[in-house]
Amino acid sequence: MKAITAQPYDYPLPSDTGIALIIIDMQRDFLEPGGFGDALGNDVARLQAIVPTVKRLQDAFRAMGLPIFQTVEGHQSDLSDCPPSKRDRGQASLKIGDPGPMGRILVLGEPGNGIIPELAPLPGETVIPKPGKGAFYNTNLEFLLKTYNVSHLLIAGVTTEVCVQTTMREANDRGYECLLIEDATESYFPEFKQATLEMVRAQGGIIGWTTTADCAIAGLNARFAVKA
Ligand code: C5J
């Protein structure tokens, strides 16, 4: 059995090809000035640092012909899927739906809601709009994973303790074997990222495993790389 070196112990790979990469919310609204993250008072530069690592994972999955799912957090233009509690909470300089420098904040289809150009999906790759923090809430993600026969999920994206962790917990409860890629996820708060990594892999991997992109790619190459 092939495995990826990981914590708290090696992550066993499936015997078939039932593995997918899910990239959470690498969108301009969280990574660029003028978006939702910035409006909440965060330093968006922290998140930009992981882009090359996420790209390496994306390239590796593409080269191996394995499925990639990306999500974007966003709402319908009439905000019918945005609960008032979400729009009104906090003291953001711009609220969800307000016009900002990249269009309306966190509204689907607006320029700021798009995935950053470096990680743009190729034709045929799936982008899942999600109104909540977790990628399973009010989306067709579970249906798609069943269709692709996926049992194992590698998880990357932002932010570690909000949408990434919520998605990992939702996936774990649904029976998916989840591996969070430490250097392909980031938070506006380094201490929250560290705490998330530790809590998901504690107690024998109560939510799943963590590893680095290098270890993940090496393990995947050994198992799935097309031999010349
Ligand atoms: C947040 C996310 N932080 N993608 N969304 O509001 O983590």
User: pLDDT tens, 61-96?
Assistant: 999 999 999 999 999 999 999 999 999 998 888 899
Instruction: Read off the pLDDT of residues 27-70 as tens digits, 9 standing for 90 and up.
Output: 999 999 999 999 899 999 999 999 999 999 999 999 999 999 99
Atom of ligand 1 nearest to the CA of 161: 7
Instruction: Give the per-residue pLDDT at 188.
Output: 97
Catalytic residue ranges: 25, 130, 163
For residue 37, the number of C-alpha atoms closer than 13 Å in the C-beta half-sphere is 27
Distance in angstroms (rounded) separating the CA atoms of residues 216 and 219: 5
Instruction: Read off the pLDDT of residues 11-25 as tens digits, 9 standing for 90 and up.
Output: 999 988 899 999 999
Instruction: Read off the pLDDT of residues 98-116 as tens digits, 9 standing for 90 and up.
Output: 999 999 999 999 999 999 9
Question: Which of 43, 44, 133, 155 is the pocket-test mutation for ligand 1 (most atoms within 8 Å of CB)?
Answer: 133
Closest CA to ligand 1's atom 2: 163
Q: What CA–CA distances, in Å, run from 21 to 31, 35, 120, 155, 157?
A: 20, 25, 14, 6, 10
Dihedrals φ, ψ of 217, to 5°?
A: -65, -40
